[in-house]
Every structure is written in C-alpha cells, then in structure tokens.
C-alpha cells in the first residue's frame, strides 16, 4: 500500500510520511547529545507527544549508562532486563511500562542523583506512557511507522524528497484513495485498510495547516512525481490546485526538479525531521514493507547533502505554481 507520507503503493503494511531549507538556517540542525538534561526541558515542551518523550528519556538513560561505564549487556544482566528491550528503550522505540523499572535503572546508574533530577526523569517517564492520537491506526502502519508518526507531530521542520508520486502531506483525498485502490488487488489489501490509510493521511495534513506552531515543510518532487497519471485528468488537475494552494502557506515550500536538468538526484524518497535542541534530527527512508528511522549522525548528514544538492538544482519555489498550471493545461 502507499507509504504514509508519499503515496507509493508498496506492500500490505504500507502507509506514508513527510520533510527544510538549510540555506535559511545553515546551522540549525544541531546535536544535543552532550548537553545535560535541564529541569526546564520538560516544562518548556509540555505539549510534546509520548514518542518524543520516550526518545528524550531514552537519550538521558543512555547518557547515564555511558557515564557510569556500563554496557547494555551488563545492565541487562544486573537487573534481569531483556537486552533487546533495554536497547529499544534507549532509542525511544519501547517504553518502560513500570516506574519501578526506571527507579532500578537510576539506582544502578547513579545512587547519588539529586532528588530533583530523579523526579524530572520520573515525570518524563509518566508522560511517555500516554496514548498518541494516531493509536487507532497503529494496526495499519508498517514497522517503525508508529515511531515516525509520533516524532513528526513534534518536529519543527520537515525536509523531504519524493521522486515518484505527489508527497503525502500534499495529496488530495481523491489522489490518495486512487493510489490505494490501484494497489489493492496486487497487495491483497481490504477496503477497510484503504479507508483507514486515506483517513490517516488526510488527518496528517493538520501538521502543516494547524493554527498553533504549524510544521515548516520543505518538499522537493521530481517532475515524474507530478506528471505521473493517477486515476484521471480531473484528479490530477485537482491535485495540482492543492499543491499550488498549499505552497502559498507561509510555512510550506514546494520545488520541482525538472527532467531536463543535469544534476544529482536519488531514486529513493526520504524525510528529514528537525526538532528543538532536546532531540537530534532524524532521517526516515522507505524500505520494503517497513521504514528506517535513525538519528545516526552520518546518515542524517548524508541525506542533508542529498536534499541540498537537489534543492539547489530544482526550480525556484516561485515557479512551482506556473509549472503546475502548465501541467494542468496539458491535461485538458
């Protein structure tokens, strides 16, 4: 089925996602890995979602463990925890279901930790256990998608490249439904699966249209992504109008990378998420029936270079509407 943010039908568990202009803020993607947690971190970001909180907590626990000079295997053996579970807690993919588990970790890492710091981590843990608004759709998401979905709602900026289809957050309902319907007999999905994924994708557009702190979105689409016929000329014309309308939002920039430009381009779509100093940036890449989500610095930097190279070769944002208008005329 279509990916959660882009629209490429791929696999029974597929859904989709979304992506920043480093020319405007060339040093804003910064690392906070060496900054100690401050008490105010939680209060300042009180509206952050559970996934963001899990990642914050996992990062703090990893720093405490490394400061103590312990390996994951040593901690797991000492406390009788599952090594896999503990590793996933540190990268924010799993939560600690009981506060007693966190207390045991803190006792092992630093018996003399200030009560105030301990209470801050315990509060962070409690907030990490709350349900996310997308929880009802979890059964229809591919592996790792729940983690990405939780992170994107708290991201400050998205940068994305989509070579094949209209980027998910810019899709119309008709375009999205057509993608899933076309894939249905091949991927053997159900009508319920289609409707749930269409509904989820339409709800995700609220990330860029919400009145409070809308996501800053920077999207590059290859010319093939907007030329590729989906369903009918009428659906495509409606889709062009939607992209043009969204690109007029102050927080949205859309660029087209033309076929006739000789430049670097990658065949794979990807999304970069940038947060506040509390979390390092992450990159998401679609894979077969799953997605990859990582904050590994080298991988993040590699995709930043990719985005920058294609952004510099793409048409200026001011020309996007005219380009789409020309395509619409061709569909007459």
Q: pLDDT per residue over 145-172, tens digit each? A: 667 777 888 889 999 999 999 999 999 9
Distances (CA, A) of 49 to 55, 126, 130, 223, 257: 10, 12, 8, 35, 34
Per-residue DSSP letter, 16: B
Min mean pLDDT across 81-85, 164-168, 236-240, 259-263 is at 81-85
The label of the residue with tokens 């990859």 reads 292
* Cα 152 to the center of its chain, rounded Å: 4
Mean pLDDT for the chain overall? 79
In the Cβ-directed half-sphere of 190, how many Cα atoms lie within 13 Å?
Answer: 4
The label of the residue with tokens 């807690």 reads 89
The reported pLDDT for the residue numbered 131 is: 65
In the Cβ-directed half-sphere of 86, how many Cα atoms lie within 13 Å?
Answer: 21
Which tokens belong to 99?
């506060």
Residue 203 has pLDDT above 60, yes or no: yes
The reported pLDDT for the residue numbered 142 is: 57
The reported pLDDT for the residue numbered 144 is: 62
Do residues 20 and 159 touch, judged by C-beta distance below 8 A?
yes
Sign of the alpha-carbon dihedral angle for 257, 259, 265, 270: positive
The reported pLDDT for the residue numbered 319 is: 96
Average the pLDDT over 268-289 and give the result.
84
Instruction: Determine the straight-line distance between the first and last CA of the chain, rounded to whole angstroms.
Output: 29
Residue 188 has pLDDT above 50, yes or no: yes
Average the pLDDT over 303-308 and give the result.
96
State which H helix or E strand residue 44 sits in: helix 40-44
Distances (CA, A) of 53 to 49, 56, 89, 311: 6, 5, 11, 32
The reported pLDDT for the residue numbered 136 is: 53
Average the pLDDT over 21-50 and give the result.
41
Average the pLDDT over 42-69 and give the result.
71
- Which residue did the predictor score with more confidence, 140 or 270? 270
| pLDDT band at 251; cut points 50, 70, 90 | very high
The reported pLDDT for the residue numbered 245 is: 95
Closest CA to 270 of 218, 318, 223: 218
- Helix, strand or coil, per DSSP, at residue 253: strand
The reported pLDDT for the residue numbered 108 is: 82
Cβ neighbours of 203 (radius 10 Å): 12
Which tokens belong to 276?
């506040």
Average the pLDDT over 71-83 and give the result.
84
Per-residue DSSP letter, 141: S
Do residues 61 and 103 touch, judged by C-beta distance below 8 A?
no
Min mean pLDDT across 35-44, 185-194, 275-284 is at 35-44
Closest CA to 255 of 307, 304, 328, 302: 307
State which H helix or E strand residue 204 sits in: helix 191-204
Report pTM: 0.71
| pLDDT band at 88; cut points 50, 70, 90 | confident
Closest CA to 121 of 31, 38, 35: 38
Rounding to the nearest 10 degrees, give the CA dihedral for residues 85, 88, 92, 95: -10
* Cα 41 to the center of its chain, rounded Å: 22
- Helix, strand or coil, per DSSP, at residue 144: coil
Residue 324 has pLDDT above 70, yes or no: yes
CA distance 121 to 43: 12
């Amino acid at each position: 089925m279509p990916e959660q943010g882009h629209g490429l039908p791929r696999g029974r568990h597929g859904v989709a996602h979304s992506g920043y202009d480093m020319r405007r803020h060339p040093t804003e993607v910064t690392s906070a890995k060496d900054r100690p947690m401050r008490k105010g971190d939680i209060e300042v970001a009180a509206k952050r979602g559970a996934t963001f909180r899990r990642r914050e907590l996992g990062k703090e626990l990893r720093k405490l463990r490394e400061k103590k000079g312990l390996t994951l295997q040593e901690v797991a053996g000492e406390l009788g925890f599952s090594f896999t579970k503990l590793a996933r807690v540190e990268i924010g993919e799993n939560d600690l279901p009981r506060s007693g588990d966190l207390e045991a970790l803190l006792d092992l890492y630093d018996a003399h930790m200030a009560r105030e710091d301990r209470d801050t981590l315990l509060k962070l843990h409690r907030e990490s256990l709350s349900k996310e608004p997308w929880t009802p759709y979890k059964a229809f998401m591919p592996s790792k998608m729940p983690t990405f979905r939780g992170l994107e709602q708290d991201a400050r900026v998205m940068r994305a490249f989509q070579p094949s289809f209209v980027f998910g957050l810019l899709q119309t309902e008709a375009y999205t439904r057509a993608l899933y319907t076309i894939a249905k007999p091949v991927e053997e999905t159900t009508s319920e699966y289609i409707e749930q994924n269409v509904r989820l994708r339409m709800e995700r557009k609220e990330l860029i249209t919400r009145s409070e702190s809308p996501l800053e979105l920077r999207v590059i689409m290859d010319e093939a992504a907007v030329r590729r016929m989906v369903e009918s000329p009428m659906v495509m014309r409606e889709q062009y109008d939607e992209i043009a309308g969204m690109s007029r939002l102050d927080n949205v920039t859309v660029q087209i990378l033309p076929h006739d430009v000789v430049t670097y381009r990658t065949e794979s779509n990807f999304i970069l998420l940038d947060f506040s100093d509390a979390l390092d940036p992450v990159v998401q890449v679609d894979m077969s029936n799953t997605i990859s989500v990582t904050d590994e610095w080298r991988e993040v930097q590699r995709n930043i270079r990719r985005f920058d190279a294609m952004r510099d070769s793409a048409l200026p944002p001011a020309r996007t509407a005219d380009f789409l208008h020309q395509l619409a005329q061709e569909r007459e």
